[in-house]
Structure 1
Amino acid sequence: MSTETLGLLRQPKTVLFGPGRRAQLPYLLKPLGATVLVCTDERMAGSAEFAGIRDSLTAHGLDVRVFPRVEPDLPRENVEALLAEVDGGEIDVVLGVGGGSCLDFAKVASIMVRRGGNVADLYGENLVEGPGLPLVTVPTTGGTGAEVTCIAVVYDADRGMKVGVASPYLEPYAAVVDPELTLTCPPGLTAATGADALSHLVESFTGREKHPDPEHLHRHLYAGKNVLTDMYALRGFTLLNSSLERVAQDPSDLAARTDTMLGALSAGMAINTAGTAGAHAIQSPIGALTHTSHGFGVGALLPYVMRFNLPVREAEFAEIGVAFGITDPALSQTARAHAAIERMEEILGALGVPLNLRDLGLEPDQFTYVAEQAMLATRLTANNPRDLSEAAIVEILKRGYADDRTWWEL
Structure 2
Amino acid sequence: MSPSSSAGIAPTSSFGLLRQPREVLYGAGQRAALAPMVLALGNQVVLVTDERMAGDPFFNDVVVALRRRGARVTVFDQVTPDLPVGDVDAAVAHVRSSEASDPEVVVGIGGGSCIDLAKVLALVLRHGGSPRDYYGEFAVPGPTIPVVAVPTTAGTGSEVTPVAVLSDPEAVMKVGISSPYLIPHTAVIDPVLTGSCPSGLSAASGADALSHLVESFTAIRHEPTSELYQERVFVGKGALTDAYARYGLELVGRSLRTCVHTGGEGPHRDDMAMAALCGGFALGTAGTAVAHAFQYPIGALTHTAHGVGVGCLLPYAMAFNAEARPEETSEIGRLLGAGENVTPQGAVRAVADLLSDIGIPATLADLGVTYDQLDEIAENGLRARRLVQNNPVPLGAVEARELVELAFTGKLP
TM class by smaller structure: over 0.9
> 2:408 is matched with which residue?
401
> 2:73 is matched with which residue?
64
**Deviations along 1:227-281, whole A, 9 cap, x unmatched?**
0000000000000001111111211032111100000100100000000001000
> 1:355 is matched with which residue?
362
- Cα 1:2/1:398, change in 2 over 3 Å: farther
Q: Distance in 2 between matches of 1:56 and 1:239?
A: 34
> 2:394 is matched with which residue?
387
**Deviations along 1:199-232, whole A, 9 cap, x unmatched?**
0011000111012422232132111100000000
Q: Which runs of 4+ in 1 moved over 3 A?
A: 1-4, 325-328
Q: CA deviation at 1:56?
A: 2.2
**Deviations along 1:276-318, whole A, 9 cap, x unmatched?**
0010001111111111111111111112111111111111111
Q: Distance in 1 between matches of 2:378 and 2:155?
A: 26
Q: 1:184 aligns with which of 177, 196, 200?
A: 196
1:48 aligns with 2:57: yes
Q: 2:24 aligns with which of 9, 15, 18?
A: 15
Q: 1:101 aligns with which of 113, 116, 119?
A: 113
Which amino acid is 2:51 matched to?
A: E
Instruction: Give matches, 1:111-190, under 5 Å.
Output: 111-190=123-202
- TM-score, normalised relative to structure 1: 0.94
Q: Distance in 2 between matches of 1:292 and 1:324?
A: 26
Q: CA deviation at 1:115?
A: 2.1
Q: Match of 2:322, SS?
A: helix
Q: Distance in 2 between matches of 1:327 and 1:307?
A: 18
> 1:322 is matched with which residue?
334
Q: 1:340 aligns with which of 335, 342, 347?
A: 347
Instruction: Give matches, 1:174-323, under 5 Å.
Output: 174-323=186-335
Q: Distance in 1 between matches of 2:77 and 2:339?
A: 48
Q: Distance in 2 between matches of 1:126 and 1:94?
A: 21
The answer (yes or no) to whether the contact 1:154–1:162 under 8 Å persists in 2 is yes
- TM-score, normalised relative to structure 2: 0.94
The answer (yes or no) to whether the contact 1:4–1:211 under 8 Å persists in 2 is no
Q: Match of 1:64, SS?
A: strand
Which amino acid is 1:16 matched to?
A: L
Which amino acid is 1:386 matched to?
A: V
Which stretch shows the higher mean deviation, 49-58 or 234-243? Answer: 49-58
**Deviations along 1:124-143, whole A, 9 cap, x unmatched?**
11111111111100001100
**Deviations along 1:114-167, whole A, 9 cap, x unmatched?**
222121110111111111111100001100010000110111112222111111
The answer (yes or no) to whether the contact 1:73–1:154 under 8 Å persists in 2 is yes
Q: Distance in 2 between matches of 1:77 and 1:372?
A: 26
Question: Percent of aligned positions with the same letter in both sequences?
Answer: 46
- Cα 1:258/1:138, change in 2 over 3 Å: same
Q: Distance in 2 between matches of 1:174 and 1:84?
A: 25
> 2:33 is matched with which residue?
24
**Structure 2, gaps ≥5 residues long:** 1-9
Which stretch shows the higher mean deviation, 220-229 or 183-192? Answer: 183-192
Q: CA deviation at 1:180?
A: 1.1
Q: CA deviation at 1:192?
A: 0.8
Aligned Cα root-mean-square deviation (Å): 1.5
The answer (yes or no) to whether the contact 1:211–1:223 under 8 Å persists in 2 is no
Q: CA deviation at 1:354?
A: 0.5
Which amino acid is 1:239 matched to?
A: L
Q: Distance in 1 between matches of 2:28 and 2:12?
A: 41
Q: Distance in 1 between matches of 2:68 and 2:284?
A: 35
Q: Match of 2:166, SS?
A: strand
Which amino acid is 2:70 matched to?
A: G
